[in-house]
């Protein structure tokens, strides 16, 4: 499978040098316990992401696409299989290290935005940095962090909403704020779980455009889960999941 | 950093949690108020008991007493002279007080204590209790300044106003007697006895007197009897309610300058009844109703004479106890040990005032300990309230906890959010409770007045407690312990919900929509 994958970004066709996979999931299996019997969700899934790729996972509800995303993002541990980051296995690391990796390597964007209602927009965006740093070191570098957050908010077009609470924002604005939050920690990989699932088509497209812009300009690796084929098509590569297995991998035109 | 921010945000936005700590606040406030008032009553009571008793009391085991106060004094000084600030000999005996009021004879059981006022005043705050040294107050205002200043040593003389009252009384009596005699003389046609003969000699008891009136008659108008007493205020007064205003007022049934009869027994076997008349020189009020309604301080020499405690040959006088004041009360146990070693066992009881009043003081201590346990249970109940509400908050915040974990927060970080939330709720609760409690204590008498006014029912009855106002004593350590305990309980109550929050799987937390 990997041999056929030449990322779109690597436009220089002359030298076909495959960059090493940045992130990969190998033979992932996961079952959830429901009452007395196990419900298998993933039954052996392999997926590889290279630096700067934008890959979308598509599939019906219950096909296990969100679970796969969670497993790759270390929000959960697979029953069988491995998650590799730059060739190193990361899924079996101790909890503290996995927390650290989540904070530094991954940025998450969720369908329901998941902003903290008690914090204003600026604080929400800064929260990964607050989690990373102790009170003292955060306090020392707060100017730098605030400037970084403002810059990112400007990039997602929210610089006029800094002190608003999430409840005062529209859905599109909240999702842009969530993207800003995921970017502030300068992640290597952005994991987006149906980022447009709760938005109307127009706003959803704005979000997708924003993700594409980030992918183009900053070489940000993005793994996106969606159930909308139109959105999935815009990715470099589309992986279709069906009943816990990869059914189809489609390269973008 | 996020822990601090979220913790303060939760504190500001979750009013339901603030409601849960109101019970902590109330518990802390109640504990502080109750403890302060109990400590106030306790220390007032201790002061008063101590005022009557002195630091250490050496008592003979017999009411007949032992001879040789000076020898005892020398022995005590030899054994523990360095610790001792003052000493006074006393004779204690039970007796009966009788006096006439409103045409009736009033009789009361009393404890007679023969004292030497000057040395007694060195041992305890006698002067503080004598009425002639106190300004007279009514409704908190001084209506008559003190008749004696504190540099006048207490003695057995009447104050000027009392002496004047006694002279007038004697004058009136003489006039009545003369009237009576004139009538008699007119009746019989001749005067049989010259006036004033009845009380010509110094001791009225040697006389065969025809009537009480005559017996009480002094040699010259206003002269005092040889028996002099300070009488407990409770013996010669009662509280009554003014019918017009409803205010309590004290009604005196006898006053300084009046004479009373006292009956007691002599020393020796078998004891013989002994009676004497005495002039009230002063009234004392210690505030301990038990003492004020049973104690009579008498002049020591006269009591010894009446009780036959004077050796006919040597003139040595017997005493029943010696009261000792220490320079530093903390040495009391040491001094008691030394004295016990020095005095022959079996004949004397040597105790500190606390040991002498042991059961009473122990009862008060037990009472306050039980009360503290009960009140602390209330705070514990409040702790369970916090527990329940925290569980609710954790359930409500499940999604947020998932987000925080997705963003890289560790389980310990999430746990510490809720622990510090519990800590800050505890701080706020016990802080507010401490302030409320201290304010309540500071304004307790104003509050009492207000409640009395609102309900029309007297909350704090002076007639029962003998205090003009509610005494309070704030012990800073008690306040510190109470608030600390409340904080600990709040933190303990938040441990379980915090652990639950920490154990939440981020995926499961995020799944709920």
Upstream peptide bond of B270 is cis (omega within 30 degrees of 0)? yes
SS3 A106: strand
In the structure, what pLDDT confidence band is assigned to residue A17 with cuts at 50, 70 and 90? low
- Phi, psi of B56, rounded to the nearest 5 degrees: -125, 140
User: Which pLDDT score is estimated for A207?
Assistant: 82
Are residues B377 and B500 located together in one domain of the fold? yes
Most confident of B52-66, B67-81, B436-450: B436-450
Q: Name which of B363-377, B404-418, B456-470 the model is least confident about.
A: B456-470
A95-104 vs A121-132: helix axis angle to the nearest 10? 140
In a domain, B109, yes or no: yes
User: Which pLDDT score is estimated for B464?
Assistant: 63
User: Which pLDDT score is estimated for B484?
Assistant: 92
Inform me whether the pLDDT recorded for A93 exceeds 80.
yes
User: Which pLDDT score is estimated for B480?
Assistant: 92
Tracing tokens 């509400």 back to the chain, one arrives at B389
Pairing of strands A106-109, A189-193: parallel
pLDDT, tens digit, for every residue of B296-318?
888 888 888 888 877 777 777 78
Give the separation between CA B316 and CA B65, rounded to whole angstroms.
Answer: 12
Are residues B387 and B492 located together in one domain of the fold? yes
pLDDT, tens digit, for every residue of B140-179?
666 777 777 777 777 777 777 878 888 888 888 888 888 8
Are residues B319 and B261 located together in one domain of the fold? yes
Residues 6+ apart with CB under 8 A from A213: none
How does B63-74 read in b/e, with b if 16+ C-beta sit within 10 Å?
bbbbeebeebbe
Distances (CA, A) of A57 to A54, A77, A101, A128, A209: 10, 19, 22, 26, 17
Residues 6+ apart with CB under 8 A from B90: B113, B114, B115, B120, B300, B319, B320, B321, B322, B323
Residues 6+ apart with CB under 8 A from B320: B59, B60, B62, B63, B64, B65, B66, B90, B91, B92, B93
Q: What is the pTM of this model?
A: 0.69
Are residues B341 and B369 located together in one domain of the fold? no
In the structure, what pLDDT confidence band is assigned to residue B436 with cuts at 50, 70 and 90? very high
Total number of domains in chain B? 2
How far apart are the two ends of chain A, measured CA to CA in Å?
A: 17
User: Which pLDDT score is estimated for B220?
Assistant: 62
Give the separation between CA A195 and CA A57, rounded to whole angstroms.
Answer: 12
User: Which pLDDT score is estimated for B219?
Assistant: 57
Are residues B333 and B393 located together in one domain of the fold? no
Is the CB of residue B56 less than 8 Å from the CB of residue B352? yes
Residue B247 DSSP code: -
ipTM: 0.82
Are residues B332 and B394 located together in one domain of the fold? no
Domain range enclosing B442 = 2-47+360-511
User: Which pLDDT score is estimated for B435?
Assistant: 94
The rounded percent of chain B whose pLDDT value lies above 90 is 4
User: Which pLDDT score is estimated for B140?
Assistant: 61
Is the CB of B505 less than 8 angstroms away from the CB of A76? Answer: yes
User: Which pLDDT score is estimated for A163?
Assistant: 82
Here the tokens at position B347 are 């004949």
Concatenating the DSSP letter of every residue in B206-244 gives GS--S-HHHHT--SSTTPPPSEEEEEEGGGSEEEEE-TT
Give the separation between CA B511 and CA B399, rounded to whole angstroms.
Answer: 8
User: Which pLDDT score is estimated for A135?
Assistant: 79
Closest-CA distance, B383 to chain A, in angstroms, reads 25
Query: Most distant CA pair in chain B: distance in Å?
Result: 127
pLDDT, tens digit, for every residue of A183-219?
888 888 888 888 887 778 887 888 888 888 888 888 8
Give ∠ CA B198-B203-B204 in degrees, rounded to 5.
45
Tracing tokens 């409840």 back to the chain, one arrives at A167
* Count of alpha carbons within 13 angstroms of residue B338, beta-carbon side: 16
Look over chain B and give the mean of its residue pLDDT values, rounded to a whole number. Answer: 79
For residue A103, what is the nearest residue in chain B, using CA coordinates?
Answer: B408
Are residues B234 and B321 located together in one domain of the fold? yes
Cα Rg, chain B, nearest whole Å: 34
Q: Which helix (H) or strand (E) holds A147?
A: helix A142-155
In 10 A of CB B107, how many CB atoms? 12
Residues 6+ apart with CB under 8 A from B237: B250, B251, B252, B253
Is the CB of B410 less than 8 angstroms away from the CB of A99? Answer: yes
- Phi, psi of B97, rounded to the nearest 5 degrees: -110, 135
pLDDT, tens digit, for every residue of A19-54?
677 788 888 888 887 778 888 888 888 888 888 888
Here the tokens at position B289 are 């109703």
Q: Which residue has the higher pLDDT, B466 or A243?
A: A243
Inform me whether the pLDDT recorded for B411 exceeds 80.
yes
User: Which pLDDT score is estimated for A1?
Assistant: 42
Q: Per-residue pLDDT averaged across B29-46, rounded?
A: 86
From chain B, which residues contact A within 8 Å (Cβ)? 1-2, 4-6, 9-10, 13, 399-400, 402-411, 413, 505-507, 510, 513
Q: Per-residue pLDDT averaged across B120-139, rounded?
A: 76
Instruction: Please give the sequence-ordered ranges of beta strands (E in DSSP) within B83-220, or none if there are none.
Output: 84-101, 104-115, 136-138, 141-144
pLDDT, tens digit, for every residue of A165-182?
888 888 888 888 888 888
Task: Name the residue among A76, A114, A139 with its Cβ closest to that of B403.
Answer: A114
In a domain, B163, yes or no: no
* Count of alpha carbons within 13 angstroms of residue A10, beta-carbon side: 15
Residues of B in contact with A187 (CB under 8 A): none
Inform me whether the pLDDT recorded for B336 exceeds 80.
yes
* Count of alpha carbons within 13 angstroms of residue A160, beta-carbon side: 3
Is the CB of B410 less than 8 angstroms away from the CB of A96? Answer: yes
In a domain, B180, yes or no: no
Are residues B275 and B333 located together in one domain of the fold? yes
In a domain, B190, yes or no: no
Are residues B42 and B68 located together in one domain of the fold? no
Is the CB of A99 less than 8 angstroms away from the CB of B10? Answer: no
For residue A140, what is the nearest residue in chain B, using CA coordinates?
Answer: B1
Q: Per-residue pLDDT averaged across A98-116, rounded?
A: 84
pLDDT, tens digit, for every residue of B180-224?
888 888 877 654 555 444 444 445 454 444 444 444 444 566 677
Is the CB of residue B162 less than 8 Å from the CB of residue B231? no
Q: Per-residue pLDDT averaged across B69-89, rounded?
A: 80
The rounded percent of chain A whose pLDDT value lies above 90 is 0
- What's the length of chain A? 253
Inform me whether the pLDDT recorded for B18 exceeds 60.
yes
Residues of A in contact with B417 (CB under 8 A): none
Report the residue of A61, A110, A166 to disrupt the B interface, i.e. the one with the largest count of B CBs within 10 Å.
Answer: A110
Is the CB of residue A183 less than 8 Å from the CB of residue A210? no
Last residue of a domain, one of B283, B316, B345: B345
Closest-CA distance, B510 to chain A, in angstroms, reads 8
Q: Which helix (H) or strand (E) holds B438?
A: helix B411-442
Q: Name which of A15-19, A208-212, B6-10 the model is least confident about.
A: A15-19
Is the CB of residue B318 less than 8 Å from the CB of residue B304? yes
SS3 A186: coil
In the structure, what pLDDT confidence band is assigned to residue B431 with cuts at 50, 70 and 90? very high
Give the separation between CA B180 and CA B186, rounded to whole angstroms.
Answer: 10
User: Which pLDDT score is estimated for B214?
Assistant: 45
- Phi, psi of A241, rounded to the nearest 5 degrees: -105, 140
Task: Name the residue among B1, B506, B510 with its Cβ closest to that of A138.
Answer: B1
In a domain, B248, yes or no: yes
Give the separation between CA A122 and CA B10, rounded to whole angstroms.
Answer: 17
Cα Rg, chain A, nearest whole Å: 18
Distances (CA, A) of B244 to A53, A74, B248, B476, B494: 99, 86, 11, 44, 59
For residue B410, what is the nearest residue in chain A, using CA coordinates?
Answer: A99
Are residues B324 and B387 located together in one domain of the fold? no
User: Which pLDDT score is estimated for B513?
Assistant: 46
User: Which pLDDT score is estimated for B439?
Assistant: 92
- What's the length of chain B? 513
Q: Could you tell me which of B383, B342, B425, B427 has the C-alpha nearest to residue B78?
A: B342
A-B Cβ pairs (cutoff 8 Å, strict): 80
Q: Could you tell me which of A211, A234, A197, A199 has the C-alpha nearest to residue A65?
A: A197
Are residues B304 and B234 located together in one domain of the fold? yes
Are residues B110 and B259 located together in one domain of the fold? yes
Distances (CA, A) of B303 to A41, A145, B93, B375, B489: 105, 92, 10, 51, 62
Is the CB of A75 less than 8 angstroms away from the CB of B513? Answer: no
Q: Could you tell me which of B229, B205, B212 has the C-alpha nearest to residue B110?
A: B229
Give the separation between CA B501 and CA B391, rounded to whole angstroms.
Answer: 9
pLDDT, tens digit, for every residue of A49-79?
888 888 888 888 778 888 888 888 888 888 8
Is the CB of A99 less than 8 angstroms away from the CB of B1? Answer: no
User: Which pLDDT score is estimated for B201?
Assistant: 46
Give Cα A118 to chain centroid, integer Å.
24
In a domain, B390, yes or no: yes
Give ∠ CA B411-B417-B419 in degrees, rounded to 5.
100
Is the CB of B507 less than 8 angstroms away from the CB of A123? Answer: no
In a domain, B288, yes or no: yes
Look over chain A and give the mean of its residue pLDDT values, rounded to a whole number. Answer: 80
Concatenating the DSSP letter of every residue in B251-267 gives EESS-TT-EEEEEEE-S
3-state secondary structure B439-480: HHHHCHHHHHHHHHHHHCCCCCCHHHHCCCCCCCCCCHHHHH
Give the separation between CA B95 and CA B111, rounded to whole angstroms.
Answer: 6
What residues form DSSP beta bridges with B60? B348
Q: Could you tell me which of A92, A96, A100 has the C-alpha nearest to residue A28?
A: A92
In the structure, what pLDDT confidence band is assigned to residue B434 with cuts at 50, 70 and 90? very high
In 10 A of CB B333, how many CB atoms? 12
What residues form DSSP beta bridges with A221? A189
In a domain, B377, yes or no: yes
Is the CB of residue B406 less than 8 Å from the CB of residue A75? yes
């Amino acid at each position: 499978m990997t041999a056929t994958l030449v990322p779109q970004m690597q436009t220089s066709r002359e030298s076909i040098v495959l960059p090493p996979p940045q992130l990969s999931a190998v033979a992932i299996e996961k079952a959830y316990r429901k009452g007395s019997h196990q419900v298998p969700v993933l039954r052996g899934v392999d997926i590889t992401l290279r630096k700067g790729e934008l890959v979308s996972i598509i599939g019906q509800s219950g096909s296990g696409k969100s679970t796969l995303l969670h497993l790759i993002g270390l929000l959960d541990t697979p029953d069988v299989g491995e998650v590799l980051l730059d060739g190193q296995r990361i899924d079996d690391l101790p909890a503290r290290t996995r927390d650290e990796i989540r904070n530094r390597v991954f940025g998450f964007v969720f369908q329901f935005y998941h902003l903290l209602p008690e914090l204003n927009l600026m604080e929400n965006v800064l929260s990964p940095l607050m989690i990373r740093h102790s009170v003292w070191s955060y306090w020392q570098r707060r100017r730098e962090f605030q400037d970084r957050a403002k810059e990112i908010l400007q990039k997602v077009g929210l610089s006029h909403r800094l002190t608003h609470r999430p409840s005062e924002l529209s859905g599109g604005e909240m999702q842009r704020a969530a993207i800003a939050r995921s970017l502030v920690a300068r992640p290597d990989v952005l994991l987006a779980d149906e980022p447009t699932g709760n938005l109307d088509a127009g706003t959803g497209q704005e979000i997708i455009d924003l993700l594409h812009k980030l992918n183009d300009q900053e070489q940000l690796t993005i793994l996106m889960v969606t159930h909308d084929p139109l959105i999935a098509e815009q990715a470099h590569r589309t992986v279709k999941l069906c009943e816990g297995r990869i059914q189809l991998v489609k390269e973008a035109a | 950093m996020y822990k601090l921010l979220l913790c303060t945000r939760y504190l500001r936005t979750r009013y339901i949690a603030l409601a849960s700590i109101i019970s902590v606040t109330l518990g802390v406030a109640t504990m502080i108020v109750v403890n302060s008032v109990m400590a106030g009553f306790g220390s007032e009571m201790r002061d008063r008991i101590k005022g009557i008793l002195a630091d250490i009391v050496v008592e003979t085991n017999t009411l007949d007493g032992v001879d040789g106060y000076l020898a005892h004094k020398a022995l005590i000084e030899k054994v523990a002279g360095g610790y001792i600030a003052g000493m006074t000999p006393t004779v204690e005996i039970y007796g009966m007080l009788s006096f006439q009021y409103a045409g009736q004879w009033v009789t009361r059981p009393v404890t007679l204590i023969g004292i030497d006022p000057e040395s007694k005043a060195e041992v305890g705050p006698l002067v503080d209790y004598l009425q002639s040294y106190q300004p007279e107050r009514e409704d908190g205002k001084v209506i008559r300044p003190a008749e004696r200043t504190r540099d006048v040593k207490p003695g057995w003389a009447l104050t000027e106003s009392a002496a004047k009252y006694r002279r007038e009384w004697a004058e009136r009596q003489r006039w009545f007697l003369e009237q009576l005699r004139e009538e008699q003389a007119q009746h019989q046609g001749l005067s049989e006895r010259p006036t004033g003969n009845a009380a010509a000699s110094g001791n009225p008891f040697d006389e065969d007197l025809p009537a009480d009136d005559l017996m009480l008659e002094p040699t010259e108008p206003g002269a005092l009897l040889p028996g002099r007493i300070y009488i407990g205020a409770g013996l010669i007064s009662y509280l009554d309610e003014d019918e017009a205003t409803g205010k309590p007022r004290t009604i005196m049934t006898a006053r300084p300058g009046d004479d009373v009869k006292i009956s007691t027994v002599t020393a020796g076997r078998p004891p013989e009844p002994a009676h004497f008349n005495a002039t009230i020189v002063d009234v004392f009020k210690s505030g301990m109703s038990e003492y004020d309604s049973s104690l009579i301080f008498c002049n020591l020499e006269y009591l010894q004479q009446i009780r036959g405690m004077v050796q006919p040959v040597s003139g040595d006088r017997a005493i029943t106890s010696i009261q000792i004041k220490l320079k530093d009360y903390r040495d009391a146990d040491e001094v008691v040990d030394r004295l016990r070693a020095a005095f022959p066992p079996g004949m004397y009881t040597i105790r500190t005032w606390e040991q002498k009043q042991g059961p009473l003081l122990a009862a008060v201590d037990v009472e306050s300990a039980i009360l503290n346990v009960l009140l602390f249970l209330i705070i514990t109940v409040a702790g369970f309230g916090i527990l329940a509400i925290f569980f609710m908050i954790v359930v409500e915040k499940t999604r947020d906890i998932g987000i925080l974990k997705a963003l890289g927060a560790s389980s310990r970080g999430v746990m510490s959010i809720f622990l510090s939330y519990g800590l800050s709720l505890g701080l706020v609760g016990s802080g507010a409770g401490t302030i409320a409690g201290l304010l309540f204590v500071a304004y307790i008498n104003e509050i009492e007045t207000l409640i009395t006014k609102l309900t029309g029912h007297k909350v704090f009855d002076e007639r029962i407690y003998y205090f003009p106002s509610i005494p309070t004593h704030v012990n800073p350590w008690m306040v510190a312990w109470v608030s600390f305990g409340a904080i600990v309980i709040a933190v303990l109550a938040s441990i379980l919900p915090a652990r639950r929050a920490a154990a939440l799987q981020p995926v499961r937390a995020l799944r709920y929509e």
